[in-house]
Structure 1
Amino acid sequence: MEEILRAAKKLAIQTALQAGQEAKNRFENLNSILVKDDFGDMVTEVDHLAEEIIVNGISRQFPDHVIDSEEAGHNGKTSDWVWVVDPLDGTNNYAIGMPLYSTTLALLYRGKPVLGVVYEPMVDRLFVAMAERGAYCNNVRIQVKKNEKIQRSSIGWIQGHAVQNEARAVKLRHHLDVNVRRMMRLWAPTLQWCMLAKGDLDGIVLYNSESSDLYAGILLVQEAGGIVIDYAGNPFEGGSEAEHYLIACHPEHKEYFMELVRQGLDNG
């Protein structure tokens, strides 16, 4: 297992950097932008190019591993090792010339994230986390920060594409927006996980979001000393649930964020 993880880390970093550089080189120079679903989500030729770089790299070195990628889907294999790939997290931002996007890979072993790599090309930031080995940004260890004035918190909001303006989500989102100092919606979820892991955000509230951009971010936060729990306070244990409702924060802010979410869901 140790040998596989070492090789996987090297490959993940290599392919993330290569795919991210291709995305940066083609930024604001796209030939194809398509709407791929009823919710207005977009896909570009760069999504496919970045995905090809990553998926081909994994397939060559680990031909027996499962790969579940944002655009190509599941490769049909069965294995304890599962790669979850989002080749261009923040495609909608990328498509309109907003430089907030990343290339994201996670490796799961028997359902648990053991490796997460996120590359943010526009500012050349590489985030890497391995289970029980810490989280790093450009080889510098990062840490979730405790805010002594948590009532003036800055948080990230993440919701799935299918949520749209679901009444319960809107109610919670509004409550958060008016009860914290700043609520951010970047439409590039992985970057918000990275911001929390390096201490730039105080928390994240996630409402029914997809898993393709989930596991790398969760591992980064956990390895940076943060907690990831569901709305009832139960630790995130992985798994393939279709829906995820999560809170991520410094351990000492757990009760504050749970109460904030509870109030948001109960009010109205």
Structure 2
Amino acid sequence: MNREVIHAAKELSIQVIREAGQIAKERYDHFDMIDEKDGFGDLVTEVDYLTEALILKAINRVFPLHQVHSEEAGSNNLESDWLWLIDPLDGTNNYAIGLSVFAVSITLLFQRKPVLGVVFEPMANRLFVSIQDGKAFCNDRNIQIAKKADIRKGNIGWIQGHKVQHDEKATKLRHHLELNFKRLLRLWAPTIQWCMLAKGDIDGIVLYNSEGDDLYSGVLMVKEAGGIVIDFAGNPFDEMCEEPYLIACHPDYKEYFMNLVKEGLAL
């Protein structure tokens, strides 16, 4: 793995993600185009396309041989050990209804493992950056996952895939988690939840079959902030997976989360 590539990718990502975030911020609450893009009612706006085009142009200029997959444009169909994942507007549904909870996410993977994650929240002006074995930062300040004296009083995030909808197992598990924590958050902007966990603002995440361009930047962020990301069986989550079922938390809470998930799935 070439550290020079990662360093150059980091500098490029920081620059272009701020530019993309500025576009989203300037057009917030007064954009012109909005469409449904699938049968689940998910939305796409002109801002998704504008920010995506900006990011893709920058990556293709500097790394023309890298594989790239983006939320709206799909794949460039190149074969490479290096893979970029772009979510140009994570939280489009929030954005479309005037809820200012959204972000831009850029991830670089090497041989299917995330090595760089950059997330920008334009409305809060928060830039999150993580590099494999290089810690995690918010606006250049090192961040660490938090440990609560009583995890039962904690706030956790719930993330589920578009196709999950009202799956009975997912619904029962979600309800079980709600009964065993102070609050369960569903933000419709997964990267923000991952960054909140890395920053110590929430205390865990349970993810139910949600894989996409918005996942791996957050996974890396949590790991580099001292957290663990495991599947429901307790195995470390280290590389891409088409149907992930995940727990993310402080290492000391591993058994507690695993037991709760096991109980919820057995209902």
Correspondence 1:239-258 to 2 at 5 A: 239=240, 241-258=241-258
What is the distance in 2 between the residues matched to 1:253 and 1:178?
17
Match of 1:215 in 2: 216
Letter in 1 for 2:248: A
Q: Partner of 2:36 in structure 1?
A: 35
What CA distance in whole angstroms lies between the structure 2 residues aligned with 1:190 and 1:99? 14
Please, what is the CA RMSD of the aligned residues? 0.6
> Equivalent residue for 2:264?
264
Structure 2 length as normaliser, TM-score?
A: 0.99
Task: Specify the code of the residue in structure 2 equivalent to 1:180.
Answer: F
Q: Which runs of 5+ in 2 are unaligned?
A: none
> Does residue 156 of structure 2 align to residue 155 of structure 1?
yes
Residues 217-246 of structure 1, C-alpha deviation per residue, up to 9 Å, x if partnerless? Answer: 00000000000000010000212x321100
2: distance between equivalents of 1:203 and 1:197? 9
Q: Which amino acid aligns with 1:221?
A: V
In 1, the alpha carbon distance for the partners of 2:103 and 2:175 equals 27
Moved over 6 A (4+): none
Aligned equivalents of 2:28 and 2:153: distance in 1?
36
**Matches of residues 6-85 of structure 1 in structure 2 within 5 Å?**
6-85=7-86
Distance 1:211 1:134 in 2: 23
Q: Deviations over 1:128-153 (max 9, x none)?
A: 00000100000000000111111212
Cα deviation code 1:235-264 (max 9, x no counterpart): 00212x321100000000000100111111
For the residue of structure 2 that corresponds to 1:9, the secondary structure is helix
Q: CA deviation at 1:122?
A: 0.1
Matched, 1:195 2:196: yes
Q: Shift of the alpha carbon at 1:178?
A: 1.8
Opposite residue 43 of structure 2, the aligned amino acid is M
Give unmatched runs, 5+ long, in structure 1: none
* Amino acid corresponding to residue 265 of structure 2 in structure 1: L
**Structure 2: how far apart are the matches of 1:203 and 1:164?**
21
Counterpart residue number, 1:126: 127
Partner of 1:116: 117
Number of matched pairs: 266
TM-score calculated relative to the size of structure 1: 0.98
**Any idea what SS the aligned residue of 1:123 has?**
coil
Q: Which amino acid aligns with 1:116?
A: G
Give how far 1:118 is off: 0.1
Alignment partners' CA distance in 2, 1:14 and 1:72: 21
Aligned partner of 1:165 in structure 2 is: 166
Residue matched to 1:178: 179
Q: Deviations over 1:14-47 (max 9, x none)?
A: 1110001100000001111101001110000000
- Distance apart, 1:6 and its partner CA: 1.1
Q: CA deviation at 1:156?
A: 0.1
